[in-house]
Amino acid sequence: MVECEVKIGAADLYDYNLKYTYGKFINILAEVAGLVAVVYGIKAANYPLAVIGAVVVAYLPVTLWLRSAQTAALLPAFKKPLHYRLDDDGLTVSQGEESQTIKWEDCLKAVSTSRSILVFTSKTGATIFPRAQLGDKTTLVIQCISRNMSPDRVNIKC
C-alpha cells in the first residue's frame, strides 16, 4: 500500500490536458498542418498563410493553459490537497469527508509525462500524480500501478 497527498495546480492540469489532447490524431494533424502552413507561408512570402498557420499552432497550447488555470482557480476540488491510497484493491482518492475507490480493472490506462504519472479512470478523466510532490514515493507508486494493472495498459517511464 502507498499513500500520498498532492495538491493539483494549474501546471499539473496543463500537463494532463496536453497529454490527453495530443493523444488524439486529429490534434497532432492540426499542429502539423499549422507548421506546414507557417513554413510554406514564409518560403513563398505568403505571410497571411504563415500567420494563420502560427495561430493554428498556438491555439491549442494557449487555450489549454487558460482552461487549466481557470479550472485550478475555480473548482473547489483543487483548492485542497487530495489524499491518494493505492493498494491491491484499487486507487482511492479522498478529500475531506468524501472518498472514491476505483478498482484497478476499471482503470483504462496508466501513462507518464516528464511532470506526472496519469492513471486514466475514464475516457476523459485521470488521476494525476505530480512527480515533484511524490518525491521518494514515485517508484512505489509506479510499482503499485504496474503490479495491479495489465501490462498492455501501462506505459510509464521512470
Across all residues in the chain, what is the average pLDDT? Answer: 94
Residue 102 pLDDT: 95
Q: Model confidence at 47, in pLDDT bands (50, 70, 90)?
A: very high
CA 48 to chain centre: 34
Cell 493554428, located at residue = 56
Q: Which domains does the chain have, with CATH numbers?
A: 2-8+81-155 (2.30.29), 13-74 (no CATH)
pTM: 0.88
CA distance 87 to 85: 7
Residue 98 pLDDT: 92
Rounded average pLDDT over 35-63: 96
AA letter at 151: P
CB atoms within 10 A of CB 107: 22
Is 158's pLDDT higher than 80? no
pLDDT digits (tens, 9 = 90+) for 110-156: 999 999 999 999 988 999 999 999 999 999 999 999 999 999 999 99
The answer to whether the CB of 83 falls within 8 A of the CB of 1 is no
Q: Where are the beta strands (DSSP E) in the chain?
A: 2-6, 82-87, 90-95, 98-103, 109-112, 116-120, 126-130, 154-155
pLDDT digits (tens, 9 = 90+) for 70-95: 999 999 889 999 999 999 999 999 99
Residue 75 pLDDT: 92
The candidate with the shortest Cα–Cα distance to 95, out of 1, 2, 8, is 8
Residue 157 pLDDT: 86
Residue 77 pLDDT: 87
